[in-house]
Amino acid sequence: MDIADYRPNRMPPSEWEDVAEFVRAVVTEAQAHYAGRYDTKDMLVTVADLARWASAVACLPLERSVIFHRETVADYASDACGHMTLNSAATRRSMLLRVAEAVLPPEERVAPLAPLNHDAPPRPYSKFEQRGFRSWAQGQTTAARRLDSRVILALGLGAGLATPDLRSLRVKDIVVDHLGVLVSRVINSLTVWDDGVCRHLLWRSAMRIVRP
């Protein structure tokens, strides 16, 4: 998208005229800094909305050190993004922080902000729940599915791997020897959830269920 041709659909023309030059200059510099890694339209929409809010609502001067100050970005996310989901607001704030890193001098760059989502971390599964998972795996309709399910449980519950780690796991990351099972790329050592199942299943089925 050509930055010079951008016009926001949901902003009054008079307000856009007040911030257009600032927005275009900032986005041009940020995109050059990141070599086009971010979507140009998304960046334009986000920076334009911040600039409009800062100028028209917060009555701040259109200066980079002010507009992209950590407190300005935090206040904008809290005040102007209330209609968004937490994930959408966090994505928009993250984009602004990346822009700030690109257009501010090192001494003025934005310090990390606290997460928007304050949900408590998930609690560990109880022994009763773990037995339920074992029953689920054992109840699969074919031997192959039972094997796959139990290996996934061994890696998830035993090694503590999250979904992204499971998806990116490779055969070379798993070592099985007389000492047990080692998932070397993700963690240095492994207290196995079920040593017998892990050792047997990972050895027999890693080539089949874990991508090479």
**Lowest mean pLDDT across 75-79, 117-121, 157-161:** 117-121
Q: What tokens were used for 108?
A: 């003025």
Q: Please tell me the distance from the alpha carbon of residue 112 to that of residue 89, in angstroms, as a whole number.
A: 16
Decide if 70 contacts 55 (C-beta within 8 A): no
**Lowest mean pLDDT across 29-33, 38-42, 204-208:** 204-208
Decide if 45 contacts 8 (C-beta within 8 A): yes
Q: Please tell me the distance from the alpha carbon of residue 138 to that of residue 146, in angstroms, as a whole number.
A: 6
> Position of tokens 């028209």?
56
How high is the pLDDT of residue 189?
39
Give the pLDDT confidence of 124-155 residue by residue, as tens digits: 777 777 788 888 888 888 888 888 788 778 77
